[in-house]
Amino acid sequence: MKCLVPILSTLCLCILTSLALQGADSRPNPPASAPRPYPDRLQWWAEGRFGMFIHWGPVSLKGTEISWSRANTNPKCPNRGSIPADVYDSLYREFNPTNFDAARWVGLARAAGARYMVLTAKHCDGFLLWHSRASDYNIAATPFRRDICAELAGAARAQGIRIGWYYSPMDWRDPDFRTERHAAFLGRMRAELRELLSGYGPIDLLWFDWDGHEPLYDQARTYELVKALQPKIVINNRLDLGKGNTDRQILSPNADYYTPEQHVGAYDDQRPWESCMTTSRRNQWAWGGAEDGVKPLEVCLGMLIRCAGGDGNLLLNVGPTPAGDIAPEQAALLGQMGAWLARNGESIYGTRGGPFKPGDYGVSTRKGNTVYVHVLEWLGDTIALPPLPARIVGSRVLGGGKASVRTTPAGLEVSVPERDRQPLDTVVALDLDQPALGLAAVEVPAPESLATGAKATASNTHQNQAQYGPDKAVDGRGDTRWATDAGTTSAWLEIDLGRPMTWSRVVIRQAYPELKRIRKYAIEYWENGQWKACHRGQHPGATVSARFDPVTARRVRLNLTEAGDGPTIWEFQIYRH
């Protein structure tokens, strides 16, 4: 839970974790150029591409979100949680995570293929996971007593994993924070940072957070203190952010990278960035209880691949249990991520994004003289890519198999036999006659859907709200959707193309966690006074690309014949081919 995002903003967070839709950014596109080199200090972080985030504290006893579930005691802070402050602030008396094993946590990170770890040493609730003299609200006062930060830092170094601390400069529990006594708070804040950065050996990364309110942290002196204690430390962008800012801004030369939250950042090879995202099925950061669960592998792996393809990192979060375990379902997911990286890691680690920008097909990465094309969705027998100012001297499919690459006046056509395609990501390595990093990134044109902007009607719209209307399924955007009322068991979405057109492919896009809501569906067209089906299917995933014999019709319908819990569609697209 990063502090700017309300805890259960279901609509927003579900979009952000969709495999099928690429996160958007409102910044203007910079002039095309080769990727900007990383500073030497940032090389390890950039080459790692993948880190493990850990949100943990006494609040895990409640299974609610960290900090945000605490009731507000300071009008200058944004939390309005349901747990009374005196109850929340007393949870530490019961916090006794006897199953905590730092070496096991680090082992899980290594098994996942993560190259660094970031622990919430202090979140906005003010609780400290280390032994502190600056504040008595810390792990030493719990029945457990042991210093979590000390044990995790030692285990990480022993196993060759970089270690970083999440530190909230906000303290919503501190009675002096953002008051006329704020100077006293700043003294305690600096004392905490001094302990955290001088008592645990080399610390590789410091992850500040923000809450959208006044950033009153004496930033110049704070940065000076941090860099005096840890000269090689990497620092994110959030210490400087306040009202009117976004997590995509870097406002100080002391900050190294920006931090899109709960979505994959847009392509940017000029400024370093890292998306922080959750494994939790409900998008919760802290432990969400036994009923929470995790996102599917295709979603989490898609996060990593799309981050790398956008020239960014992924910081993937787990929330340990009150007993100190990383839940079996989270551990299993991490293991699956690691198994994929063991086979395909050369296309992620040490790469830069591009030169083909992310698109419906997937993404690309590059290093040395090689471009790796990650095909996440085969929209046809071939993938059409723009031309490169380089000669392709060889090609291969990671994991085995053959790729065919044909150069045409329009660009490249890449194909792989179906038997050699991988279920989640087919990685085609293109070997060039020159360094791939010298190439400017290029857009990959996507075919235009015949449905975009067409008149759309539906049998049902969630609470008759325009923001969930049927037109949102054909607006060509990845941040809007058509939604139906909860409990809806069947529904239809009709598209009027304006005139008869010939089409032979339909794409349906959903987002997690709504994937299981549609059980049976049909693609239908209106002919001679009745609806006729050209395709039927069951249990669609994040993306369905249905092909059939060409149909000529003006009216098209997605008929959800069997559904539950209010089906919702992000995009319904119709293509000629």
CATH number at 416 reads 2.60.40
Q: In this structure, are 362 and 227 located in the same domain? A: no
Which helix (H) or strand (E) covers residue 219, if one does?
Answer: helix 219-229
pLDDT of 109 above 60: yes
| Mean of pLDDT values over 309-326 | 98
pLDDT class of 25 with cuts at 50, 70, 90? very low
304: which DSSP letter?
A: H
559 in helix, strand or coil?
A: strand
Number of domains in the chain: 3
The pLDDT tens digits of the residues spanning 470-482 come to 999 999 887 799 9
Q: Which of 308, 343, 378 is the last residue of a domain?
A: 343
Q: Is the dihedral of CA 171, 176, 182, 186 positive or negative?
A: negative
Q: In this structure, are 326 and 383 located in the same domain? A: no
Most confident range (mean pLDDT) of 101-115, 288-302, 508-522 is 101-115
pLDDT of 29 above 70: no
User: What pLDDT shows up at residue 381?
Assistant: 87
Which CATH number fits the domain that encloses residue 539?
Answer: 2.60.120.260
Q: In this structure, are 434 and 550 located in the same domain? A: no
Listing DSSP states for 95-162 in one string gives ---TT--HHHHHHHHHHHT-SEEEEEEE-TT--BSS--SS-SSBGGGSSS---HHHHHHHHHHHTT-E
User: What pLDDT shows up at residue 10?
Assistant: 33
Report if residue 30 sits inside a domain.
Answer: no
**Amino acid identity, position 267:** Y
Contact between residue 475 and residue 544 where contact means Cβ atoms under 8 Å apart: no
Q: In this structure, are 432 and 564 located in the same domain? A: no
Q: In this structure, are 122 and 139 located in the same domain? A: yes
Q: In this structure, are 289 and 417 located in the same domain? A: no
User: What is the C-alpha to C-alpha distance for residues 571 and 573, in angstroms, rounded to an integer?
Assistant: 6
Report if residue 66 sits inside a domain.
Answer: yes
The two structure tokens encoding residue 228: 């005096």
Residue with tokens 């210490």: 239
User: What pLDDT shows up at residue 7?
Assistant: 34
Beta bridge partners of 208: 167
User: What is the C-alpha to C-alpha distance for residues 360 and 379, in angstroms, rounded to an integer?
Assistant: 8
Residue with tokens 């305690």: 188
Contact between residue 247 and residue 261 where contact means Cβ atoms under 8 Å apart: yes
Report if residue 6 sits inside a domain.
Answer: no
Between 30 and 247, whose confidence is greater? 247
Residue 26, class by beta-carbon neighbours within 10 Å (0-12 exposed, 13-18 middle, 19+ buried)? Answer: exposed
Which helix (H) or strand (E) covers residue 299, if one does?
Answer: helix 297-309
The pLDDT tens digits of the residues spanning 399-458 come to 999 999 999 989 999 999 999 999 899 999 999 999 999 999 999 988 889 999 999 999
Question: Please, what is the average pLDDT of the chain?
Answer: 92
Which CATH number fits the domain that encloses residue 203?
Answer: 3.20.20.80
Report if residue 11 sits inside a domain.
Answer: no
Q: In this structure, are 99 and 243 located in the same domain? A: yes
User: What is the C-alpha to C-alpha distance for residues 526 and 213, in angstroms, rounded to an integer?
Assistant: 54
Q: In this structure, are 320 and 415 located in the same domain? A: no
pLDDT class of 509 with cuts at 50, 70, 90? confident
User: What is the C-alpha to C-alpha distance for residues 363 and 348, in angstroms, rounded to an integer?
Assistant: 11
Q: In this structure, are 417 and 491 located in the same domain? A: no
Rounded to a whole number of angstroms, the CA Rg of the chain reads: 25
pLDDT of 8 above 80: no
User: What is the C-alpha to C-alpha distance for residues 114 and 51, in angstroms, rounded to an integer?
Assistant: 5
User: What pLDDT shows up at residue 87?
Assistant: 98
Report if residue 192 sits inside a domain.
Answer: yes
Q: Which of 343, 369, 384 is the last residue of a domain?
A: 343
Q: Which domain holds residue 534?
A: 455-575
Report if residue 160 sits inside a domain.
Answer: yes
pLDDT of 162 above 80: yes
From residue 541, how far is each of 77, 204, 488 by CA, in Å? Answer: 40, 39, 19
User: What is the C-alpha to C-alpha distance for residues 43 and 486, in angstroms, rounded to an integer?
Assistant: 48
The two structure tokens encoding residue 268: 């940017």
Pairing assessment for the beta strands 404-408 and 370-375 based on DSSP bridges: unpaired
| Mean of pLDDT values over 254-267 | 95
Q: Which of these ranges, 23-27, 92-96, 494-498, has the smallest mean pLDDT?
A: 23-27
The pLDDT tens digits of the residues spanning 379-411 come to 778 999 999 999 999 999 999 999 999 999 899
Listing DSSP states for 343-377 in one string gives HHGGGTTT-EE-SBPPBTTEEEEEETTEEEEEES-
Report if residue 447 sits inside a domain.
Answer: no
User: What pLDDT shows up at residue 14?
Assistant: 38
Report if residue 98 sits inside a domain.
Answer: yes
Q: Residue 56: how many CB atoms within 10 A of its CB?
A: 28
Q: In this structure, are 105 and 246 located in the same domain? A: yes
Q: Residue 376: how many CB atoms within 10 A of its CB?
A: 24
Please give the share of the chain, as a percent, with pLDDT higher than 70.
94
274 in helix, strand or coil?
A: strand
From residue 96, how far is each of 92, 290, 363 by CA, in Å? Answer: 8, 18, 44
The pLDDT tens digits of the residues spanning 117-132 come to 999 999 999 999 999 9
User: What pLDDT shows up at residue 528?
Assistant: 95
User: What is the C-alpha to C-alpha distance for residues 380 and 361, in angstroms, rounded to an integer?
Assistant: 10
Q: In this structure, are 471 and 533 located in the same domain? A: yes
Q: Which of 383, 407, 438 is the last residue of a domain?
A: 438
| Mean of pLDDT values over 13-39 | 55
Q: In this structure, are 119 and 226 located in the same domain? A: yes
pLDDT of 571 above 60: yes
